[in-house]
Amino acid sequence: MTGPGTGTGPAPAGWRPALSSAVSLRHDRVRDADLLLLPERVVVLRGSAAKILRLCDGDRDLDAIVAELRSRFPGAPVAEDVPAFLDRMRGEGWVR
Amino acid sequence: MTAAPRPWALLAELTHGCPLHCPYCSNPLELVRRSRELSTAEWTEVMRQAGELGVVHTHLSGGEPLLRGDLAGIVTAAESAGIYTQLVTSGVGLDGARLATLTAAGLRSVQLSLQHADPAASDRIAGHRSYAAKERAAALVRAAGLPLGINVVLHRDNLDALDAIIERGLDWGADRIELANTQFYGWALRNRDALLPTRDQLGRARDTVQRWRDRLGGATDLVWVVPDYFDGVAKPCMGGWGAVSLTVAPDGTVLPCPAAASLPDLDPPNVRDHPLEWIWDHSGAFNRYRGEDWMREPCRTCSRRAEDFGGCRCQAYALTGDAARTDPACALSPDHGVIRALTTDPGHPAGAGTPAPTGGYAYRKPGG
């Protein structure tokens, strides 16, 4: 079986999240919304999801993403919420 | 009139030319001649307008879109308009150089059709020796790192091979396997006697899909497109008429759904005559069955009307002669008997326990 698989189990040590190659993150000017575009579906991103995903460039590790967001959004619970969100994205196979 | 929601998706039928002759082809019975096809410049303009209208996703389809020598240019036009591109292909005509050109142009993903797991049966259903080309195409797409979907139209002739079909899709490296039960209009309606499965076949196939889903645990997406003849439930066709997506036919005709070419008095607009935005917002064709005002009983007061939109207009027309009637697939339709007779009558293959002999198709071809 050669399916690419979605990320299950704990995130790998030193994980540097990046968008899956199947996924395109775009701002939709017509609807003023951020979208994840996939082969057969469109996901409308809410809240700060797109801001987090734009930092998933394969260079930053999880700590760097959290630090960047903490500096942009002082007081927001980024240390708890962001790793949990990215884990869910990994579970969906949209972030690897 | 309240403003219609913006469309998300465009089905671009770039050509009706195709090396395959599948008896359930979703193209209309009257295929568009190649000399009537939109030019590269016209498709480029369609993509630009579609992007401005809100389209973010396009299926570059056909027929066989690889027959268009200018396909890469059309991909570039879509990409420039901010539209995610998926090539929908039989695989015939795809080689490494062609795929490299398309990928460089911005192609994002590929959906490959497969007719059967057995090469000879796949070729027989397609009416063309194409299995080997499909196998090669799948390997090329994987090697290029593009997401690969395998699309299998299911019917009496291949439902019993579902295990092998799923295994083949996995072997070929599919991220997604779409198991689409035949929808009966156009060519498939013409071939309904040969294609309609039995209830037993469908029951076994459902179990098979569930077993594979349990085994795969989401690693590969298995999509089961339900057969609407058997459960008394109409499908929510296109997510509503003129609500989510639009189809542009090879000659520029714009339709709310690829089968709507069959509706005799729709008078569909054409991109050669009108901007896409006007077509979406103001054309008679796109407003004909939009929303709920057109509905009669039992749809008009039905609690399901916002979920299934009265079902499929093209099926209502094909089976009752009136596109504004409730889809006969719905058990609440006064016309449901025409479908029930096909799926419960023990004298009919679909009502009986054993499948009738397969084959004997009216293959899809120009002038068919």
Between CA B197 and CA B349 the distance in angstroms is 8
Split at pLDDT 50, 70, 90, the class of B182 is: very high
Q: Which residues in chain A are contacts of B171 at CB distance < 8 A?
A: 2
Please give the torsion angle defined by the CA atoms of residues B280, B285, B291 and B296, in that order, rounded to the nearest 10 degrees: 180
Q: Which residues in chain A are contacts of B225 at CB distance < 8 A?
A: none
The answer on pLDDT for B351 being more than 60 is no
CA distances from B114 to B21, B176, B222, B268, B322 (A): 13, 13, 14, 32, 34
Mean pLDDT by 10 residues, chain A (96 residues): 50 88 92 94 92 95 94 88 92 89
Given this model, what pLDDT does residue A4 score? 40
CATH, range B9-225: 3.20.20.70
Tens digit of pLDDT for each residue in B133-180? 999 999 999 999 999 999 999 999 999 999 999 999 999 999 999 999
CA atoms within 13 A on the CB side of B47: 28
Annotated binding site of B: 18, 22, 25
Highest mean pLDDT among A76-80, A82-86, B110-114, B311-315: B110-114
Residue B252 and residue B274 in contact, taking contact as beta carbons nearer than 8 Å: no
List residues of A whose CB lies inside 8 A of any B CB: 1-6, 8, 21-22, 24, 26, 28-31, 35, 37-40, 42
Binary contact (A31, B6; C-beta < 8 A): yes
Q: Which residues in chain A are contacts of B174 at CB distance < 8 A?
A: 3
CA distances from A60 to A13, A38, B342 (A): 13, 23, 60
Given this model, what pLDDT does residue B361 score? 93
Whole-model pTM: value is 0.93
Mean pLDDT, chain B, integer: 93
